[in-house]
Protein backbone atom coordinates (compact mmCIF):
# COMPACT_ATOMS: atom_id res chain seq x y z
CA UNK A 1 0.00 0.00 0.00
CA UNK A 2 1.28 3.49 -0.84
CA UNK A 3 1.19 6.41 1.54
CA UNK A 4 -1.43 8.08 -0.70
CA UNK A 5 -3.92 5.23 -0.31
CA UNK A 6 -3.22 5.06 3.42
CA UNK A 7 -4.04 8.75 3.67
CA UNK A 8 -7.25 8.19 1.70
CA UNK A 9 -8.23 5.53 4.26
CA UNK A 10 -7.36 7.94 7.10
CA UNK A 11 -9.53 10.67 5.56
CA UNK A 12 -12.46 8.26 5.24
CA UNK A 13 -11.92 7.06 8.82
CA UNK A 14 -11.94 10.68 10.06
CA UNK A 15 -15.29 11.33 8.34
CA UNK A 16 -16.78 8.08 9.67
CA UNK A 17 -15.62 8.84 13.23
CA UNK A 18 -16.83 12.45 13.09
CA UNK A 19 -20.13 12.17 11.22
CA UNK A 20 -21.35 8.87 12.64
CA UNK A 21 -24.80 9.01 10.99
CA UNK A 22 -23.36 9.39 7.47
CA UNK A 23 -22.92 6.52 4.97
CA UNK A 24 -19.90 6.20 2.68
CA UNK A 25 -21.12 6.22 -0.95
CA UNK A 26 -19.75 3.74 -3.49
CA UNK A 27 -19.33 6.31 -6.30
CA UNK A 28 -17.49 9.43 -5.23
CA UNK A 29 -17.01 10.88 -8.72
CA UNK A 30 -20.58 10.76 -10.05
CA UNK A 31 -22.72 11.44 -6.98
CA UNK A 32 -26.09 11.26 -8.70
CA UNK A 33 -25.30 7.68 -9.84
CA UNK A 34 -25.40 6.39 -6.24
CA UNK A 35 -28.47 4.52 -4.98
CA UNK A 36 -31.07 6.92 -3.60
CA UNK A 37 -31.50 5.05 -0.34
CA UNK A 38 -27.79 5.49 0.43
CA UNK A 39 -27.78 9.24 -0.23
CA UNK A 40 -30.16 10.24 2.57
CA UNK A 41 -27.23 11.29 4.75
CA UNK A 42 -23.98 10.39 3.06
CA UNK A 43 -20.44 11.33 2.11
CA UNK A 44 -17.94 10.54 -0.62
CA UNK A 45 -14.18 11.04 -0.59
CA UNK A 46 -12.33 11.41 -3.89
CA UNK A 47 -8.70 11.80 -4.91
CA UNK A 48 -7.78 15.18 -6.33
CA UNK A 49 -4.67 16.63 -7.92
CA UNK A 50 -1.26 15.85 -6.54
CA UNK A 51 1.95 17.82 -6.76
CA UNK A 52 5.58 17.12 -5.90
CA UNK A 53 7.80 19.79 -4.38
CA UNK A 54 10.76 18.40 -6.39
CA UNK A 55 13.09 18.42 -3.42
CA UNK A 56 15.04 15.16 -3.68
CA UNK A 57 18.11 15.68 -1.48
CA UNK A 58 17.01 12.64 0.52
CA UNK A 59 15.40 9.35 -0.46
CA UNK A 60 12.02 10.94 0.32
CA UNK A 61 9.54 12.48 -2.09
CA UNK A 62 7.36 15.26 -0.67
CA UNK A 63 3.82 15.22 -2.01
CA UNK A 64 0.81 17.47 -1.65
CA UNK A 65 -2.49 15.83 -2.65
CA UNK A 66 -5.96 17.34 -2.67
CA UNK A 67 -8.96 15.37 -1.49
CA UNK A 68 -12.61 16.27 -1.98
CA UNK A 69 -15.20 15.29 0.60
CA UNK A 70 -18.78 15.59 -0.56
CA UNK A 71 -21.49 15.73 2.11
CA UNK A 72 -25.01 14.94 0.91
CA UNK A 73 -28.40 15.15 2.65
CA UNK A 74 -31.81 14.26 1.29
CA UNK A 75 -34.39 16.97 0.86
CA UNK A 76 -37.55 15.28 2.07
CA UNK A 77 -41.06 16.42 1.23
CA UNK A 78 -40.25 20.05 1.95
CA UNK A 79 -39.65 21.44 -1.51
CA UNK A 80 -42.25 24.18 -1.05
CA UNK A 81 -41.37 25.12 2.53
CA UNK A 82 -38.66 27.74 2.67
CA UNK A 83 -38.24 27.49 6.44
CA UNK A 84 -37.89 23.69 6.42
CA UNK A 85 -35.47 23.84 3.49
CA UNK A 86 -33.31 26.33 5.39
CA UNK A 87 -33.20 23.91 8.34
CA UNK A 88 -31.77 21.20 6.04
CA UNK A 89 -29.28 23.63 4.53
CA UNK A 90 -28.10 24.86 7.92
CA UNK A 91 -27.78 21.30 9.25
CA UNK A 92 -25.52 20.40 6.32
CA UNK A 93 -23.34 23.46 6.99
CA UNK A 94 -23.14 22.52 10.68
CA UNK A 95 -22.03 18.99 9.77
CA UNK A 96 -19.42 20.40 7.39
CA UNK A 97 -18.09 22.70 10.12
CA UNK A 98 -17.91 19.77 12.57
CA UNK A 99 -15.80 17.87 10.03
CA UNK A 100 -13.56 20.88 9.35
CA UNK A 101 -12.86 21.18 13.09
CA UNK A 102 -12.04 17.45 13.27
CA UNK A 103 -9.41 17.81 10.53
CA UNK A 104 -8.00 20.97 12.12
CA UNK A 105 -7.65 19.16 15.44
CA UNK A 106 -5.73 16.24 13.87
CA UNK A 107 -3.37 17.88 11.38
CA UNK A 108 -1.36 14.69 10.79
CA UNK A 109 -4.30 12.27 10.48
CA UNK A 110 -2.94 10.18 13.30
CA UNK A 111 0.64 10.73 12.10
CA UNK A 112 -0.01 9.31 8.62
CA UNK A 113 0.49 12.72 6.98
CA UNK A 114 2.87 15.62 7.45
CA UNK A 115 0.07 18.19 7.62
CA UNK A 116 -3.57 18.62 6.58
CA UNK A 117 -4.84 21.98 5.32
CA UNK A 118 -8.50 22.88 4.92
CA UNK A 119 -8.80 24.75 1.60
CA UNK A 120 -12.50 25.63 1.55
CA UNK A 121 -15.92 24.36 0.52
CA UNK A 122 -18.19 24.63 -2.47
CA UNK A 123 -21.47 26.48 -2.40
CA UNK A 124 -24.50 24.37 -1.58
CA UNK A 125 -25.66 22.48 -4.65
CA UNK A 126 -28.69 20.42 -5.45
CA UNK A 127 -28.35 16.92 -6.84
CA UNK A 128 -31.16 15.13 -8.63
CA UNK A 129 -30.97 11.39 -8.29
CA UNK A 130 -30.59 9.24 -11.38
CA UNK A 131 -34.20 8.12 -10.95
CA UNK A 132 -35.20 11.82 -11.16
CA UNK A 133 -37.59 11.35 -8.26
CA UNK A 134 -35.60 12.61 -5.30
CA UNK A 135 -33.53 15.70 -4.59
CA UNK A 136 -30.49 16.05 -2.39
CA UNK A 137 -28.37 18.94 -1.22
CA UNK A 138 -24.59 18.81 -1.06
CA UNK A 139 -21.42 20.69 -0.33
CA UNK A 140 -17.88 19.59 -1.09
CA UNK A 141 -15.00 20.28 1.26
CA UNK A 142 -11.48 20.50 -0.10
CA UNK A 143 -8.44 19.53 1.92
CA UNK A 144 -4.81 19.23 0.91
CA UNK A 145 -2.58 16.70 2.58
CA UNK A 146 1.19 16.92 2.59
CA UNK A 147 3.05 13.66 3.02
CA UNK A 148 6.29 11.90 2.23
CA UNK A 149 7.07 8.60 0.55
CA UNK A 150 10.35 6.89 -0.18
CA UNK A 151 11.89 6.64 -3.63
Q: Which CATH number fits domain 3-150: 3.30.2000.10, 3.60.40.10, 1.10.8.10, 3.50.50.60?
A: 3.30.2000.10
Domain ranges of the chain: 3-150
Residues 41-51 have pLDDT tens digits of 999 999 999 88
Which residue has better confidence, 65 or 150? 65
Residues 131-145 have pLDDT tens digits of 777 889 999 999 999
Mean model confidence pLDDT for the chain = 90
For position 109, what pLDDT does the model report?
92
Share of the chain above pLDDT 90, in %: 61
Whole-prediction pTM value? 0.91
Q: Facing residues of 71 across strands? A: 43, 139
Residues 94-113 have pLDDT tens digits of 999 999 999 999 999 988 88
How many C-beta atoms surround the C-beta of residue 127 within 10 A?
Answer: 18
Amino acid sequence: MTVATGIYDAVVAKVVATLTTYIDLPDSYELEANPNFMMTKSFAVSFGDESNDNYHATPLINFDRNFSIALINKIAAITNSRSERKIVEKALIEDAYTLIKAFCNDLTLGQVATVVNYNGASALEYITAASDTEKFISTTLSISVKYQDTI
